[in-house]
């Protein structure tokens, strides 16, 4: 008597959000099963991998990242090289320098960088803000305006600034908008509800329901993923059916496992770069098998591995 396979089918599916234009445009979402449960149904076009670059240049990057971009002298060069990274599907420009508590670069300067990057590449672009809610409320609408027609994804609109970013990105300039909430299914849903009430269509919203490095409160990340997907697919909750994008690199490359130089680290920890890659890869995998429709990475080895990983499970 063979094994009686019971497919666990859902009548609902995750929405599809397209970013980018032309041949290289990609679709996020579209699956009607739990991640990689291809034996139950369709995974859509499958999860995608983003390659992160920042406005801060390469100085603070790990050696492998520096090596990959060696010879690049402008943001346009870096962007082109990011687009060419094997395994990447889209480029992510993180405008970390906008943080008023950090480099505090002006909106004009950052918009110019975004424009330079956007003009240099033909693949889809995601622009992440500075994480400062006031600055992003000012910055991201300007980026949306400057990149009109490129169908970029702007991250992130949060509870505090969703109106400015949602209205500018999705309504005024027809871009896509990321809705970021703090690891809680109800907050994620509420943000989607108010964004929709603002007039932003569900097809223009990608969620970031929170991320963390593995070991750093990642339990909340997992449970939020699991529950959001259970509600979206199992309960046909339209306000949770947006695809999920998860920034991984910005979380994993700042924890001590990824930053402590071998000389400062405990015995046997080994080369810092290998630890950083493992942290990035293992965190990304944990996100992908829980819910993420896209992950944002930065190390070439991680990007290649995760891309290969996705292919091997599809």
Partner 1 sequence: MTLLDVIFAGNDAVYGLTEKAIDDAIAKYGEDKAVSFPSTAYSLPCYYAVTGTKVTNLKELKEALGVVKTLMTREPRLHDGFMSGIATALCAEFIEVLKYIDNPTPYEAPCAGHLPDAAIRELGVPLVTGDIPGVPVIIGKAPTAEEGAAIVKEYQAQGQLVTLVGDIIDQCAEQGVKMGANVRVIPLGKDITSVIHVVSVAIRAALIFGNIKPGDAAGLMEYTKQRVPAFVDAFAPLNEVIVACGAGAIALGFPVITNEETFSVPKSLIVQKDVSKFVATSNEARGIKIKITKIDIPVSFGSAFEGEIIRRGDMQVEFDGSRVDCVELVQMKDLSEIEDHKIELIGPDIDEMEVGSKQQIAYVVEVAGKSMQADFEPVFERKFHSYLNCIEGIMHTGQRDMIRLRISKEAYNAGFRLKHIGEVLYAQIKNEFDAVVDKCQVKIYTIPEDCTKIRHEIAVPTFDKRDERLATMTDEKVDVYYSCIMCQAFSPSHVCVVTPERLGLCGAVSWFDAKATHELDPSGPCQVVTKEKPIDERIGEYEDVNEVVKKLSQGALEEVSLYSIMEKPMTSCGCFECICGIEPFSNGVCIANREYAGTTPLGMTFSELASMTGGGVQTPGFMGHGKHFIASKKFMKAEGGIGRIVWMPKELKDQVADALNKTAKELYGIDNFTDMIADETVTTDPEELVAFLTEKGHPALSMDPMM
Partner 2 sequence: MALSGIQIFKLTPKKNCKECGCPTCMAFSMKVAQGAKQLSDCPYMSEDALAQLAEATAPPMKTIKVGAGDSEHSLGGETVLYRHEKTFVNKTLYATNLCSCMDDAEIDARLERLPQVDYERIGERMYTEFLNVNYKEGTDAAKYVEIAKKAAAVRPVILSVKDEAVAKAALDAVKDTKPVLNGADASNYEAFCKLAADAGVVLGVSGKDLDELYDTTAALEKLGNKNLILDVTMDTAKATFEAAVQVRRAALKDGDRTFGYPSIVNVNRLTDDKTMQEALVATFTMKYGSIVIVDEMDYAMALPLYGLRQNLFTDPQKPMKVAPGIYPMNGADENSVCLTTVDFALTYFLVSGELERSGVPCNLVISDAGGLSVLTAWAAGKLSATSVATFFQENVESKIKNRTLIIPGKVAVLKGDIEAKLPGWKVIVAPLEAVQLVKFLKDLKANGEI
Q: Segment 229-248, which members bind partner 2 (CB under 8 A)?
A: 230
Q: Any long-range contacts for 6-13 (C-beta under 8 Å, 24+ apart)?
A: 7/39, 7/40, 7/41, 8/33, 8/34, 8/37, 8/40, 9/33, 9/40, 9/41, 10/41, 10/233, 10/234, 11/236, 12/232, 12/233, 12/234, 12/235, 12/236, 12/241, 13/42, 13/233, 13/241
Closest approach, Cβ 233 to partner 2, in A, equals 13
Confirm or reject binding of residue 167 to partner 2 (CB under 8 A): no
Q: Which does 199 bind (CB under 5 to 8 A by kind): partner 1, partner 2, none?
A: partner 1
- Beta-carbon contacts of residue 190 (< 8 Å; ≥ 6 apart): 159, 181
Confirm or reject binding of residue 277 to partner 1 (CB under 8 A): no
Q: Pick the stretch among 81-89, 145-153, 191-199, 249-257 that binds partner 2 (CB under 8 A).
A: 249-257
Looking at the Cβ atoms of 63 and 235, the one nearer to partner 1 is: 235
Among 94, 105, 189, 275, binds partner 2 (CB under 8 A): 275
Closest approach, Cβ 97 to partner 2, in A, equals 15
Closest approach, Cβ 180 to partner 2, in A, equals 14
Site residues (vs partner 2, CB under 8 A): 1-6, 8, 36-39, 101, 131, 213-220, 222-223, 226-227, 230, 252, 254-257, 266-271, 274-275, 277-279, 281-286, 289-290, 301-302, 305-306, 308-309, 312-314
């Amino acid at each position: 008597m063979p094994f009686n396979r019971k497919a666990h089918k859902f009548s609902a599916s995750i929405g599809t959000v397209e970013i980018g234009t032309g041949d290289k445009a990609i679709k996020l979402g579209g699956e009607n099963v739990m991640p990689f449960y291809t034996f139950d149904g369709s995974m859509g076009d499958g999860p995608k991998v983003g390659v992160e670059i920042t406005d801060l240049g390469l100085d603070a990057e790990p050696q492998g990242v520096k090596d990959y971009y060696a010879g690049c002298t402008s943001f346009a060069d870096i962007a082109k090289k990011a687009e060419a990274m094997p395994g990447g599907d889209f480029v992510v420009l993180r405008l970390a320098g906008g943080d008023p508590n950090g480099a505090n670069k002006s909106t004009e300067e950052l918009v110019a960088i975004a424009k330079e990057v956007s003009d240099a590449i033909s693949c889809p672009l995601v622009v992440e803000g500075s994480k400062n809610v006031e600055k992003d409320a000012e910055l991201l609408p300007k980026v949306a305006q400057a990149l009109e027609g490129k169908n970029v994804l702007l991250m992130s609109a949060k509870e505090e600034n969703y109106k400015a970013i949602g209205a500018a990105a999705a309504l005024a300039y027809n871009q896509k908008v990321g809705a970021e909430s703090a690891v809680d299914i109800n907050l994620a849903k509420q943000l989607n509800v108010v964004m929709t009430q603002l007039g932003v269509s569900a097809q223009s919203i990608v969620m970031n329901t929170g991320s963390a490095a593995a070991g750093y409160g990642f339990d909340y990340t997992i449970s939020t993923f699991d529950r959001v997907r259970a509600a979206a697919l199992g309960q046909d909750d339209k306000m949770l059916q947006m695809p999920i994008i998860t920034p991984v690199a910005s979380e994993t490359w700042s924890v001590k496992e990824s930053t402590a130089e071998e000389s400062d680290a405990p015995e046997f920890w080994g080369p810092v770069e290998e630890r950083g890659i493992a942290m990035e890869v293992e965190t990304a995998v944990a996100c992908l098998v829980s819910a993420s429709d896209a992950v944002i990475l930065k190390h070439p080895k991680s990007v290649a591995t995760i891309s290969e990983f996705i292919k091997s499970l599809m």
